[in-house]
Every structure is written in structure tokens, then in C-alpha cells.
Chain A
Amino acid sequence: MSDIADLTNGAARLAPAASQLPVSWYSDEKLFALEKQQLSMPGLAMRAMH
């Protein structure tokens, strides 16, 4: 949870790469299957309509 960031007040700074995802996670078939299980669970496959 974070508050609102403000570019005009906050100093533009480089933060340590503590949590970027490993490069292998973007082409891993097994992980993709896990994502489909975890992220397609009812309620995560939402869609906005009007």
C-alpha cells in the first residue's frame, strides 16, 4: 500500500531493483499454466462492460 506520489515534490531517484521479475518468468510454459490457475480463478477473470 502506498500513498500518492508526486513528481513535482518527490525527488526523481533510482530505487534498487528489489522485486523485478526474473527474465525466465516471461517465457516459462509451466509458470504460464500456474498463472492461468491462479489468475483465472473466478473473480480474477473479470471484465468491465457497460
Chain B
Amino acid sequence: MVPGLHDYRSLEWLDHARLLVRQCDIEPGQVELLSNVCRHRQAIMLQGSGNARNIVCPVHRWTYDLQGELIGAPHFPANPCLHLDKQTLENWNGLLFQGPRSAQHDLAGMKLANDGVFDFTGFKLDRVEMHVCNYNWKTFIEVYLEDYHVVPFHPGLGNFVTCDNLRWQFGEWYSVQRVGITALQKSGSSTYARWQKAVLDYNNGEKPKQGAQGAVWLTYYPNIMVEWYPHVLVVSSLIPQDVDKTMNIVEFYYPEDIALFERELIEAEQAAYMETAIEDDEIGERMDRGRRALLKQGRSEVGPYQSPMEDGMRHFHEFYRRIMAGAMDGY
């Protein structure tokens, strides 16, 4: 997002209220999260991305340095010393997290990361998609954490990955699943056919090397998902907005050579990803509708978990009950 010294980017999912700023070109840990709201009359200052030495509010020209220190307030006899709030971010395999929970600690036992599979250093952001889901955030996580529906409901994805060699690993704060990549010779939708062709073309007609590792889907509870397919990393963050409305912020990252020179591969991959997302939306909406219908009838029904394909959903339910236990007297 901010690869160069003094690069900045405002976060659209917060209506640009915060900025990522690279303070120093020494990795890691030199990207900070700064408030982008002026301390004078609370206006949003920068919007978008760029490179700057100072942050200047366009309304009254209050000026801050990149550490958030107020360095100029025109026509005030003295500096009011109202500085911008800032947070240091934690680097985990090239991804940055804001605390105080520690991703390094929470994800430390993940075997896939220790194998070096998860290392996203050098990946470049290509696009941020803000996708509204008209169903409960827990329903989203449930659908994400079960592979039982992949073949019956995702003709495209179901021919790109195979759950025949599904692997799970569970921790206190995460679950991670690994599925296989098919030979990419058969496609289940025109959108996936385009992606599969682009992947094969990029690899001179061969299955990509990552095909041996498969696709890796990590859920860092309660709301962050990291997906690694051949040549792409997708980070999704859920923001619950109402009981039946969830904002999903989807970020697409690519290795630098692909980000710069492989537009067709990028667009084909993003189209395939969103096709699957729309299909998942239908599942989530159906599940929420059915649950509301039962509730109106005064009924509550539950079903069995298919193991191992729904082991992740079961683990999420255990996590949820554990975190919510102290607040749920009367439930």
C-alpha cells in the first residue's frame, strides 16, 4: 500500500479517517497508522494515496509532519500542540496488523506459516472492493469455514480447487485450511475458464508450482480472512453493520511482476473471485432467511456437522461461545 519512503494511503473503509504512512524505508515496522482528521475543525485532510513530507489540512492550512506533530497553525500566536493520534503496526509475514492483540503471538503455532508458505513480503495492492453482504456476519464466517458446499454450489471454484485432500489446523485464534489445486484442465464456468487459462498461460501451459501446496485459507478470528491462491493474495475484513448487513473489505495483492505486467491474469482472477463471492452471498441470504422463518414459527433447528468438511464451522462456533460466554447471561 505504501512501498516508498513518505508514501501515504488513506483507508476508504474508514471514510479516509486514517492514513497508512511509511516513515522510514527500513523494514519491518516502519509503517504507522495516523489519524487523518484535523485537530482544528475535524476535517478529513488527505484522500487517496501519494507521497508527501507534510500533511496539510486544505481548510485552514494546519500542517502536520508525518509523525503527526502539528508544525503550523496559521495566525495563531503559538503552536496549539494538538497532534494527530498514531499507532504502530505489527508485521506478520508482510501483513500489517493494528494491536493490541499480537498477530505474531496469535498465529505463532500455525504450521503453514512456519513452513514459509505464508510470506507476502513484496506483494503489491491492486484493488480494494467494498462488498455489502445482506446477512449476518456469523453466517458469512460459517459459509467461509465449510467446504461442504464447494462442489454443489460453486461450479467455477469447484473445478479450480479440490477438497479431496483437505487439511485443517486449528488454534485458539485462528483456523487454516488447505485444499488442492486441480490440473486446471476442466472449468465449471466461463469466468473460471478465463482465470485458469491466464494461470496456465503465465506458467507456459503448466500447473503453477504453488499447485503442489494448494490454496490456503486462513481465518484470524473473528473477522479477518487471508486467502492464498497461485499468484494472488486476498485479504478480507468483515465489518458487521447490522444484524443482517455486513461490509466485507476485500483487498487483492499480487507479486510485483504480476502487479505491473499481467493485467489479464489480475482481471481474470478478480472476476473469478467475485463470482464465488456472489454465489456465497446467495448461500448466506438463504441461510438467514430460513433462520428468520423458523424464528417466526417459534422453532429453532440445528443440523449435524459434516466432518472434516465442516470442521472449521464447528471450531468457529466453539470460538464464538468462548469469547461471548461472559456477556451472554440469559442466552
Residues of A whose CB lies within 8 Å of any CB of B are 1-8, 10, 12-17, 19-29, 31-32, 34-39, 42-50
* Most chain B CB atoms below 10 A, which of A1, A31, A50: A50
> Within the complex, what minimum Cβ distance (angstroms) separates B121 from chain A?
9
**CB<8 Å pairs between A and B, sample of 28:** A1-B171, A2-B311, A4-B167, A5-B311, A6-B165, A6-B167, A7-B309, A8-B164, A19-B317, A21-B138, A26-B291, A27-B288, A29-B243, A32-B243, A34-B324, A34-B328, A35-B324, A42-B99, A43-B101, A46-B97, A46-B224, A47-B237, A48-B96, A48-B251, A49-B1, A49-B11, A49-B96, A49-B251
Bound together, the chains give a CA A12 to CA B317 distance in angstroms of 20
Is B273 an interface position by the 8 A CB rule? no
- Smallest CB-CB A-B distances: 8 pairs: A43-B101, A5-B308, A23-B291, A20-B302, A2-B170, A26-B136, A17-B302, A48-B95
Closest Cβ neighbor of A7 among chain B residues: B166
State which residues 30-70 of B face A: CB under 8 Å: 31
Could you say which interface size class chain B belongs to? Answer: 35 or more
Bound together, the chains give a CA A49 to CA B125 distance in angstroms of 9
Contacts of A16 in B (CB 8 A): 304
Bound together, the chains give a CA A39 to CA B325 distance in angstroms of 12
Closest Cβ neighbor of B220 among chain A residues: A46
**Which of B224, B303, B324, B331 has a CB less than 8 Å from the CB of A38?**
B324
Is B71 an interface position by the 8 A CB rule? no
Contacts of A28 in B (CB 8 A): 243
Bound together, the chains give a CA A14 to CA B295 distance in angstroms of 25
Number of A-B contacts (CB under 8 A): 170
Residues of B whose CB lies within 8 Å of any CB of A are 1, 11, 20, 31, 89, 94-101, 103, 111, 120, 123, 125, 135-136, 138-139, 163-172, 220, 222-224, 226, 235, 237, 240, 242-244, 249, 251, 253, 287-288, 291-292, 294-295, 299-309, 311, 314-315, 317-318, 320-321, 323-324, 326-328, 331
> Within the complex, what minimum Cβ distance (angstroms) separates A11 from chain B?
9
Instruction: Please state if B308 and A49 are interface contacts (CB–CB under 8 Å).
Output: no
> Within the complex, what minimum Cβ distance (angstroms) separates A39 from chain B?
5
| A5-B166, A8-B165, A19-B318 known; A47+B243 contact, CB < 8 A | no
Closest Cβ neighbor of A29 among chain B residues: B243
Contacts of A8 in B (CB 8 A): 164-165
Contacts of B138 in A (CB 8 A): 21, 25-26
